[in-house]
Amino acid sequence: MAEAGSVYVDVAGESKSEHVTGKWFSVPELRLRDHRFIVPLDYSKSSPKITVFAREIVAVGKEEQAMPYLLYLQGGPGFEGPRPSEASGWIQRACEEFRVVLLDQRGTGLSTPLTCSSMLQFKSAKELADYLVHFRADNIVKDAEFIRSFGGFCALTYLSFAPEGLKQVLITGGIPPIGKACTADDVYEAGFEQVARQNEKYYKRFPQDIEIVRELVNYLAESEGGGVPLPSGGILTPKGLQTLGLSGLGSSTGFERLHYMLERVWDPILVTGAPKCISQFFLNAFESWHSFDTNPLYALLHEAIYCEGASSGWSAHRLRDKYEYKFDAMKAVKESQPVLFTGEMIFPWMFDEIHALKPFKAAADLLAKKEDWPPLYDVPRLQNNKVPVAAAVYYEDMYVNFKLVTETASHISGIRLWVTNEFMHSGLRDAGRQIIDHLLGMINGKKPLF
């Protein structure tokens, strides 16, 4: 999943009727207060209103100090901003010189959240799909401008359509491909190759898991209905099992978490002759591995974030056929080869197998077929960009392909790249203070060009 970027803005005044400010409260070494804004669902015409929530954070004692604002845009799509419990990581570093704003992007967290239950209020798939089209980066940026304030992807949209609201931009791990009507095919062409390499690394680390996964795939395939029931009511199939690679192969501790999960896949056989059975631990762990039940927008809008005037047409699903010789689980079992996990990809059959997503299958299909998506980027404007931009680029990032990143960067005037293989896509979570400090040094001249 794309990690967050950070955008620096100067917040303008808002109408009191459209802005409610909460009281300051505390967590260790930080002071926080909440803001709620009433904004249009559709900025292009008269439309219903929604609430957008943002949380302001300062270091203790700096509540009244005049400081520039740092707006944090969470990656995703479909994930809310972080909830700090103490001063640590990048937030602690940022609060030394900024007033930090954590935005719950529309549809997430406390910003009129689109949940598996709330979306059931729509009477048809078309009504839901028509509603969901308003929850991409273009409108997230309009919300941010409304209060003057998605991750790195949103930052480029901001630079394209509202650069006057920005003083500086920091991006960590999220620079999208641009310049085509839909870039999803480019993303997954590169993505499948990178995921295959990550699988190779994983099995070198944990070769004992090769046989465990093969045995599990065979067990699932031979089960009634081609899979086993999950606690929530979905079904775990060989294809579903392969989706563990989404977070297992791309984050700094993903390999270890995946391995420890697989080592407890089977219930112990206590009585001679008892049949083998997948453990409840594993089934529960599988369901908690993904966040589709709490953040369904991630699945519904995943490919739409790449579309400008063309449909995605279930890009990952189409391109998987091209690589099926690598990602065919049953073929791997029959040929005694390692079963490869898939990566950050959403497939249409997930709306059949994952209980939380089942009600939204028809809406997801409408979104996959939609062609008239509005633009997300203005390439000529990016080529004439005047806003300083510094970006951390993770060389071995499974989620954001290095080659595609450098191609995009070549179209952004004034951008500086920090290319490193020291971190994975989760770098900001793993070493936030170090990364923010490095990017601030780049953008403020402490780390000059060389």
Contact call for residues 79 and 106 (beta carbons, < 8 A): no
What predicted TM-score, i.e. pTM, was given to this entire model?
Answer: 0.87
At which residue do the structure tokens 């006057």 appear? 164
Query: Coil, helix or strand for 315?
Result: helix
Tokens, residue 430: 């793993």
Q: In b/e form, how buried is each residue of 393-424, taking b as 16+ CB within 10 angstroms? A: bbebbbbbbbebbeebbebbeebebbeeeebb
**What is the four-CA torsion angle of 391, 395, 396, 400, rounded to 10 degrees?**
40
Helix axes 254-262, 184-205, angle to 10 degrees: 60
| pLDDT given at position 166 | 87
Nearest CA among 130, 145, 192 for reference residue 340: 192
Pairing of strands 25-27, 30-40: antiparallel
Question: Is the bond into 77 cis (omega within 30 degrees of 0)?
Answer: yes
Q: What domains sit in the chain, N to C, each tagged with a CATH number?
A: 5-179+377-443 (3.40.50.1820), 184-369 (no CATH)
Q: Helix H segments across 96-150?
A: 125-132, 137-146
| pLDDT given at position 153 | 55
pLDDT along the chain (450 residues), means of 10: 37 53 94 94 91 95 88 90 93 93 96 96 97 95 75 71 88 88 91 94 98 98 96 96 95 94 95 93 95 94 94 95 86 96 97 97 98 94 94 91 93 94 86 91 79
Contact call for residues 50 and 109 (beta carbons, < 8 A): no
CA pair distance 337, 163, nearest whole angstrom? 51
Tokens, residue 450: 């060389």
Q: Kindly report the number of other CB atoms within 10 A of residue 232's CB atom.
A: 13
Query: Coil, helix or strand for 208?
Result: coil
Give first-to-last CA distance, the chain, whole Å: 32
| pLDDT given at position 236 | 98
| pLDDT given at position 64 | 87
Nearest CA among 376, 445, 381 for reference residue 413: 381
At which residue do the structure tokens 């392909």 appear? 401
| pLDDT given at position 213 | 98
Instruction: Give the Å distances, CA to CA, from 60 to 90, 91, 127, 257, 434.
Output: 16, 13, 46, 36, 22
Contact call for residues 276 and 283 (beta carbons, < 8 A): no
CA pair distance 263, 278, nearest whole angstrom? 11
Contact call for residues 189 and 17 (beta carbons, < 8 A): no
User: Who contacts 96 (Cβ-Cβ below 8 Å, separation ≥6)?
Assistant: 59
| pLDDT given at position 162 | 84
- Which residue numbers are catalytic? 149, 372, 425
CA pair distance 188, 207, nearest whole angstrom? 27
What residues does 71 pair with on adjacent strands? Answer: 7, 101
| pLDDT given at position 358 | 97
Q: What are phi and psi of 2, to 5 degrees?
A: -65, 135
Please name the amino acid found at residue 345: M
CA pair distance 170, 172, nearest whole angstrom? 7
Query: Coil, helix or strand for 242?
Result: helix
Q: What are phi and psi of 392, to 5 degrees?
A: -90, 125
